[in-house]
Amino acid sequence: MQTEYTNNDFEIAGFFASMRARDLKRDVPEFPVRKKTNTMVLWTVVSGLAASLLLGLFLINHQNHEEILLRDQIVFYLFEDTHHSTTYFEISAESSMDAWEPATQFLLEEH
Amino acid sequence: MTKEDLEVFLKQHYRLSYLWARQCCWFDSEMAREVLHIALLKILEGKARFAGQSTDKTWLFSVIRITALEQLRKSQKHVDLAEFSELNNFPDGNEDSDSGGFHEGLLKKLPARQREVLLLVFYHDRTLEETARILNISPGAVSTHYDRGKKKLRELIEKQKHHADRIYQ
């Protein structure tokens, strides 16, 4: 419901009416237009960037990966042929329990 | 209200919204532009929502006013209302014609609450109840500011007329 004016209010109402008339000539800025972003394009770009980043990280990690041995191992096997009075040795990169011979083996053989 | 409906509604009331924003910013056009932009963003991004407790235009005006107060506080242009009503140190209303001259000059001489009430009732055709909602004060307080504002403005208009008569004589 509109506010009712008394007789004394007409002067005030006239004041505001002339102010309104004056404001009709006033420049009003344009309504701000929202930029409509294409969400499909945006998602494609974001997904593409994420995939490229993951692929890059994977490739970098893969190239740097080396098999690191705990230690380099070379075993010298020393054999003594008592029958021919000769000594020979073998060099191997692998150790094997099969080739191991106790140092007191000759005692067992002689008895 | 969908986003599209909201946009249509804002466009419909855009001109009056800008003028109200300007009136809330002491008739500063540049600040009004900024305030209105922020207020529209608040609404479109859902930070300010219409709860249906008042008419949609009343709600819109309320959002604009709150945003204007925030911006005035930020820019430190906020003048204490009690102090302002005592000062009355604005020009006599014959300043820059682009800024509204006579009308705005006289309105600036009113205390802020009285000016807001008179603008909402006489300029924007709001009822006293709607004005109370927009200003977030009681209807009783609105009524008091309304009566005092009218009395003060009438005196100012008379004073201005008297001043003009003396110049032309």
- Return residues 9-68 of A near B (CB < 8 Å): 9, 11-13, 15-16, 18-20, 22-23, 26, 28-29, 31-32, 34
Contacts of B27 (CB under 8 A, 6+ apart): B99, B100, B104, B107, B108
What is the rounded CA–CA span in Å between residue B1 and residue B20? 23
Q: Given B53, B78, B103, which residue is the final one in a domain?
A: B78
Based on the domain organization, do B86 and B166 belong to the same domain? yes
Q: Which residue type, as a one-letter code, is found at position B54?
A: S
pTM for this structure?
Answer: 0.64
What is the rounded CA–CA span in Å between residue B78 and residue B97? 24
Query: Packing angle between helix B139-168 and helix A9-23, nearest 10 degrees?
Result: 80
Domain span including residue B132: 80-169
CA atoms within 13 A on the CB side of A91: 2
Percent of chain B surpassing pLDDT 90: 57
Domain count, chain B: 2
Chain B residues lying within 8 Å of A32, measured CB to CB:
37, 40
Beta-carbon separation of A28 and B14 below 8 A = yes
Based on the domain organization, do B85 and B167 belong to the same domain? yes
The domain that contains B43 carries what CATH number? 1.10.1740
Instruction: Point out the residue among B19, B104, B122 whose CB comes nearest to the CB of A12.
Output: B122
3-state secondary structure of A28: coil
Q: pLDDT tens-digit profile of B92-109?
A: 444 444 456 889 999 999
Based on the domain organization, do B14 and B60 belong to the same domain? yes
Region of poorest pLDDT, from B43-52, B101-110, B111-120: B43-52
Based on the domain organization, do B108 and B125 belong to the same domain? yes
Q: What value does the mean pLDDT take over residues A3-30?
A: 86
The domain that contains B105 carries what CATH number? 1.10.10.10
Report the alpha-carbon angle B123-B124-B129, nearest 5.
115
The interface predicted TM-score (ipTM) is 0.80
Q: Which residue type, as a one-letter code, is found at position A85?
A: S
Based on the domain organization, do B95 and B116 belong to the same domain? yes
Q: What value does the mean pLDDT take over residues A36-62?
A: 85
Q: Quick one: B145 exposed, middle or buried, by C-beta within 10 A (0-12, 13-18, 19+)?
A: buried
- Return residues 25-54 of B near A (CB < 8 Å): 33, 36-37, 40, 44
* pLDDT bucket at B83, cuts 50 / 70 / 90: very low
- Residue extents of the structural domains in chain A: 75-110
Based on the domain organization, do B3 and B59 belong to the same domain? yes
Report the alpha-carbon angle B105-B163-B156, nearest 5.
45
Q: How far apart are the first and last CA of chain A?
A: 129
Q: How many residues does chain B have?
A: 169
Q: Given B23, B54, B78, which residue is the final one in a domain?
A: B78
Based on the domain organization, do B69 and B84 belong to the same domain? no
Calculate the average pLDDT of chain B.
83
Region of poorest pLDDT, from A67-71, A91-95, B54-58, B99-103: A67-71
Structure-model confidence comparison of residues B46 and B20, the more confident one = B20
Based on the domain organization, do B118 and B99 belong to the same domain? yes
